[in-house]
Amino acid sequence: MTAIELPKSSIVNSYDVDKPMSLNSDNEWKPFNLNASLNLMETKTVLFLITYNIRVDNSQFSARLVLENKIKKKSVTSVEGLKFASSQAYVAKVLKKGHYSIDIQFNSNSSNTFSPDLRSDSEKSHVKLHVIELE
């Protein structure tokens, strides 16, 4: 769990992966297809927060932020050898006025399927993106 105190003027947009998908990406980066976007009327500092918890059964799983089809290298997280891949990544970026498309990509060799509808209390799977406009 993470807590962050934000200014009252902050705007928070949240996105969830809500469709099942195979986690085996054949050693290629695949999009989660969040359909996230941001329309800025002025230059702002934006904080991107990625959180995920996915059952991968000891397989490799990596994720990264993609903003306007450009990879944010400092956002890459990677987990291997655990039952669940669980991580958080934060990226702060000053963005100019304009429209931005945002997604999370993953790379994994897990034979599992990510399925947000099959959640039990002991095994909650999720992939979330929070886009926070700070100024």
**All domains of the chain in start order, with CATH:** 35-133 (2.60.120.40)
Contacts of 16 (CB under 8 A, 6+ apart): 116, 126, 127, 128, 129
Please indicate whether residue 58 or residue 1 has the higher confidence score (pLDDT).
58
Quote the percentage of the chain above a pLDDT of 70.
93
pTM for the complete prediction? Answer: 0.88
- The answer on pLDDT for 117 being more than 70 is no
Q: Are 38 and 99 in contact (CB under 8 A)?
A: yes
pLDDT tens track for 56-83: 988 999 999 999 988 887 788 898 888 8
pLDDT-derived band of residue 118, with 50, 70 and 90 as boundaries?
Answer: low
Q: For strand 70-79 and strand 11-16, is the pairing parallel, antiparallel, or unpaired?
A: unpaired
